[in-house]
Chain A
Amino acid sequence: GENVEQHPSTLSVQEGDSAVIKCTYSDSASNYFPWYKQELGKRPQLIIDIRSNVGEKKDQRIAVTLNKTAKHFSLHITETQPEDSAVYFCAASTHGGSQGNLIFGKGTKLSVKP
Chain B
Amino acid sequence: NAGVTQTPKFQVLKTGQSMTLQCAQDMNHEYMSWYRQDPGMGLRLIHYSVGAGITDQGEVPNGYNVSRSTTEDFPLRLLSAAPSQTSVYFCASSLQGLSNQPQHFGDGTRLSIL
Query: Residues of A with Cβ closer than 8 Å to B?
Result: 1, 6, 9, 31-32, 34, 42-46, 49, 51, 89, 91, 93, 96-107
- Whether A34 and B102, one on each chain, are in contact in the complex, defined by CB atoms closer than 8 angstroms, is yes
Tell me, rounded to whole Å, the shortest Cβ–Cβ distance linking B111 to chain A: 15
Q: Which one of B33, B41, B97, B107 lies within 8 Å of A43 (CB-CB)? A: B107
Selected from A91, A99, A102, the residue in CB contact (under 8 A) with B50 is A99
Contact with A along B2-35 (1 / 0, CB 8 A): 0000000000000000000000000000000101
Known: A6-B42, A46-B102. 7 other contacts (CB 8 A): A1-B59, A43-B108, A44-B43, A97-B97, A99-B97, A102-B98, A107-B42
Whether A89 and B42, one on each chain, are in contact in the complex, defined by CB atoms closer than 8 angstroms, is: yes
What is the bound-complex CA distance between A42 and B9, given in angstroms? 12
B103/A89 in contact, CB under 8 A: no
Q: Which residues of A contact B102 (CB under 8 A)?
A: 34, 46, 49
Summed over the interface, the residue pairs from A and B with CB atoms below 8 Å come to a total of 62
Distance (Å) between the CB of A36 and the closest chain B CB?
A: 8
Q: Roughly how many angstroms separate A91 CA and B43 CA in the complex, as a whole number?
A: 9
Residues of B within 8 A of A91 (CB): 43
Interface size on B, residues (CB 8 A): 24
**Scoring B residues 76 to 114 as 1 if CB is less than 8 Å from chain A, else 0, what string do you get?**
000000000000001000001111101101111000000
For residue B44, CB closer than 8 A to chain A, the reply is: yes
Give complex CA distance A42, B88 in Å: 11
Bound CA–CA A93/B31 (angstroms)? 14
Kindly provide the distance from the CB of A87 to the nearest chain B CB, expressed in whole angstroms. 9
Residues of B within 8 A of A51 (CB): 100
**CB pairs A–B below 8 angstroms (21 shown):** A1-B59, A32-B98, A32-B100, A43-B107, A43-B108, A44-B90, A46-B103, A93-B98, A93-B99, A96-B99, A97-B99, A98-B50, A99-B50, A101-B33, A101-B48, A102-B98, A102-B103, A104-B43, A104-B44, A105-B42, A106-B40
**A49: B residues at CB distance < 8 A:** 102
